[in-house]
Structure 1
């Protein structure tokens, strides 16, 4: 059973049991993440094209189309961030399994995604702390020798 069919079955079961969408929906696990993963993107699509498609469900604040560093060609997957997290639910529900330029795309929630700049800043901060910690150790050793 493919992921799209599995999601549809879960939604149908919840509806038949009368379970509230906002209390028991599988979307609530991702309520803190504004990002969605997009896979199966056609090679010809650009960041602007993704923006046009995904902005139907809310205000898009970030589009990260992953590209090969050497050639600059798309790797056919990326991440899209919304201003309002509820838009991610709409995008996943409506675009997962949609066909764009002959390819079926996969859209799913993301839990722990950090933008590249944020990762770089965090890594730099850790390096500074590590270096200052080593400097302090050397200083303490010199004082006590």
Structure 2
């Protein structure tokens, strides 16, 4: 599914919850209450970890930033994983930043159900030895694979406003 369609679907689900007055336990976010990680896609390739901290820290204290980079060149691949100290901050980030424009690009922010780097740390393995192939939570989450592992092309019309 197109990343922009995913953004719109998440925004519709959140708006509907608000209209229905659903509580936290009935929210679609409750499915991810065990994970404090979010996936951020569609990032500008020139953004740094510090830039991500500036944008995402407005919703809570960030304890881990993994801006995925090309192993050979060190350049950003256009997506990242962030962990908040408090899982409730992930709900705020997803609701408020999904579909927001950051550095003239529309970003996708989703919950992460199963973050492998975190699992490796818990099992005492070297977390840096784990490949960055973790997946965001949505069923249609393979935009990176469709574009050959890249976070998107700035010249792509889908990312222009």
Give the TM-score, by structure 2 length. 0.69
The 1:53/1:16 distance shift into structure 2, 3 A limit, reads: closer
Question: Whose radius of gyration is greater, 1 or 2?
Answer: 1
Q: Which residue is 1:66 aligned to?
A: 68
| 1:92 paired residue number | 94
Change (3 A) 1:90 1:15: closer
State TM-score, norm by structure 1.
0.76
Residue 14 of structure 2 corresponds to residue 15 of structure 1 = no
Unpaired segments of 5 or more residues in structure 1?
Answer: 124-145
SS of alignment partner, residue 5 of structure 1: helix
Alignment deviations for residues 50-88 of structure 1 (CA, whole Å, 9 cap, x no partner):
111110000000000000000000000010000000000
Report the 3-state secondary structure (helix = DSSP H, G, I; strand = E; otherwise coil) of the residue aligned with 2:124.
helix
SS for the counterpart of 1:115 is: helix
**d(CA) in 2 for partners of 1:49 and 1:14?**
31
Q: Is the 8 A contact 2:14 2:95 kept in 1?
A: no
Q: Which structure 2 residue ranges, 5 or more long, are not aligned?
A: 127-161
SS at match of 2:51: helix
| Moved >4 Å (runs of 4+) | none
Distance between the aligned counterparts of 1:120 and 1:17, measured in 2? 41
Structure in which a larger fraction of residues adopt helix: 1
Report the equivalent of 2:159: none
Aligned-CA RMSD value: 2.0
